[in-house]
Structure 1
Amino acid sequence: MAVTSIANASFMVLERAVQQRARARSGAPNPTRAKVHPNSRVAGSFEDDFFYSYAKGETDRIVKNADELLEQKNAVRRLARAEGRELTEAERLVTLITPAAVRVLKKLATLARTCAGKVFPTWKWIEEKTGLARATVGRALAILATMGILDKQRRCVPIEPTAERPKAKYEQTSNVYRMRFPNRLVQFLPMRMRPVPLPEDVVQREADRVEDIAAMRLWRSPRQAVTEDIEDAGLRRVLLSLAAAMEKKESQKNGQPLLDSYSLYADGVGLVGQRFDA
């Protein structure tokens, strides 16, 4: 049992190190000449789990909340200055919002409302619809992502290598977006715009559910952990083979047979009918 625990712990440390490994730019030329950003995912492999199914009026509420934050940002800054203190993390996020960011959010919300939550416009489309410059659109998207209002995922598509790019396998395509309003920003909204708090029993039941799920995840086998947590197909295949070898090795260490399960001195199947005290 102790050996198994050490093996599982070692595998989890290896998995965490692979997930958190930073991709640093070395400054060397790109041998594939492929314009693919880091952390891009293959288009068509994740969108069904990424996109939200918005409730009626939810996108409009997100935009109204963002408008209210834009009006409150200066008041938040003045209050912190009057009290002689630094801005908190939530207050700093509120002060980041700009009119351009709200304008971009409105166009994305319109797409989400009319396209059943599937939002994947190009930067050129956003520029044309908002009338903003490309650099302003990039800053607006970055601000919304930092505030937690916008989730963005870069995508790439497989391509055939060409003479100019003989090693290129993927090419960048449009990003996908989804919107939400984070709870840490709700405190800056007027009372009339804040959601009704949940009953305490509902909150406690949800906390118990999260705790139970976390406890169940601790007992996952290495192969289950790899299958659920590793997204890269190549890395998942390598770690799955490693996990299978580890599980096979550990299963052979304590393979003692259950002697009572094949006792033949009495009639019957299994333990019932084989022993008088079964």
Structure 2
Amino acid sequence: MGTITIGDAALKAFGLLTRERSPARSGAPHRTGAPVLRDSLEAGTFEEVFWTAPARGETDRLLHVARKTLDAARRLRRDARSGERTLTVVERGIAQLTGSAVRVFEEILTLARLNRGRVYPSYDYLAEATGLGRATVGRALRILEAIGFLVRQRRFNRVKNDGPGPRYVQTSNAYRPLLPGSVRPYLPRWMRPSPAPDDAVQHHADQALETNAMLKTLSCRELAQITVSGPLGKILAKLGETIDRTEREAQTGPQPLKDSMNIRIAVLA
């Protein structure tokens, strides 16, 4: 939970790898006749890296932010109706937030707090828990996702049957609450995170320069080993070793080949 970080980028990469291993799920009827929605992932294959246990008091803070954002949405709708100004794209998205959407978000946050971030309610459960209609719940989830309060991942289950090949059935979505950066300018000043001190910003910039200088001194193999871990890191290390060997044999400047390796690691990482 919290703001989107590099971990979310890694999660997207994990999702792509998982989809490559999974059967086709285009949204059309499956070849066995079982419909599975597009971009669904198999339940049980990704949740441990998708869900994050909330820190103490974090769900309450997110709910408070959502309620303040609802106040901002009402002001933006009044501005749009009065014709005082034209809303930006971000403001039009925030203006879509409704009380029903905040109520659904509150229920998701409650589940996140009680279940250490493991949130996968069905539409019917959310409708019963909030007292809203199923269609209203679906619309609320779309609004929350569009603004950035939620990341939603569709899931499916395998079903054994007597016929040829496995069958798949859609199951409830997995949800992860977030604090969207787009709403921060519309929150009260006391709710906005304080900017980092100038010396801390300069320290991080100096560290980045030192790290880049150190990376330039490494061979392609060493660069791959410290940049990417796991099976992908081993593959890149072998590739880097081949580039290093070719570099030594050619006796040409190492910089062009090392730049090529840097680009490949940046893309795959």
TM-score, normalising length from structure 2? 0.66
- How far apart, CA to CA, are the structure 2 residues paired with 1:214 and 1:32? 52
Aligned to 2:138: 138
- How far apart, CA to CA, are the structure 2 residues paired with 1:176 and 1:72? 28
Q: Is the 8 A contact 1:34 1:168 kept in 2?
A: no
Q: CA, structure 1 residues 46+73, in 2 after alignment: closer, same or farther (shift >3 Å)?
A: same
Aligned to 1:154: 154
Compare the two structures and name the one with the higher helix fraction. 2
Unaligned runs of 5+ in 2: 1-12, 18-23, 252-269
Aligned to 2:195: 197
- How far apart, CA to CA, are the structure 2 residues paired with 1:158 and 1:56? 36
Question: How many angstroms does 1:97 deviate by?
Answer: 0.5
Write out aligned runs for 1:113-262 (5 A). 113-163=113-163, 166-205=164-203, 256=249
State the SS of the aligned residue for 1:195.
Answer: coil
Identity of aligned residues (%): 38
When Rg is computed on C-alpha atoms for both structures, the one with the higher figure is 1
Aligned to 1:111: 111
State the SS of the aligned residue for 2:190.
Answer: helix
Kindly provide the amino acid, as one letter, of the partner of residue 102 in structure 1. V
- How far apart, CA to CA, are the structure 2 residues paired with 1:32 and 1:207? 55
- How far apart, CA to CA, are the structure 1 residues paired with 2:240 and 2:231? 15
Q: CA, structure 1 residues 202+33, in 2 after alignment: closer, same or farther (shift >3 Å)?
A: farther
Kindly provide the amino acid, as one letter, of the partner of residue 95 in structure 1. A
Question: How many angstroms does 1:72 deviate by?
Answer: 2.0
Question: How many angstroms does 1:147 deviate by?
Answer: 0.5
- The superposition leaves residues 125-164 of structure 1 with CA deviations (integer Å, 9 ceiling, x where unpaired) of 111101112111111111101000001111222322344x
Cα RMSD for the two superposed structures = 4.0
State the SS of the aligned residue for 2:96.
Answer: coil
State the SS of the aligned residue for 1:156.
Answer: strand
Q: Is the 8 A contact 2:155 2:171 kept in 1?
A: yes
- How far apart, CA to CA, are the structure 2 residues paired with 1:158 and 1:210? 46
Task: Out of 97-106 and 30-39, give the one that drifted further.
Answer: 30-39
- How far apart, CA to CA, are the structure 2 residues paired with 1:36 and 1:212? 49
Unaligned runs of 5+ in 1: 1-14, 230-239, 259-278
Question: How many angstroms does 1:45 deviate by?
Answer: 2.1
Write out aligned runs for 1:267-278 (5 A). none
Task: Out of 76-85 and 143-152, give the one that drifted further.
Answer: 76-85
- How far apart, CA to CA, are the structure 2 residues paired with 1:167 and 1:131? 40
Q: CA, structure 1 residues 86+65, in 2 after alignment: closer, same or farther (shift >3 Å)?
A: same
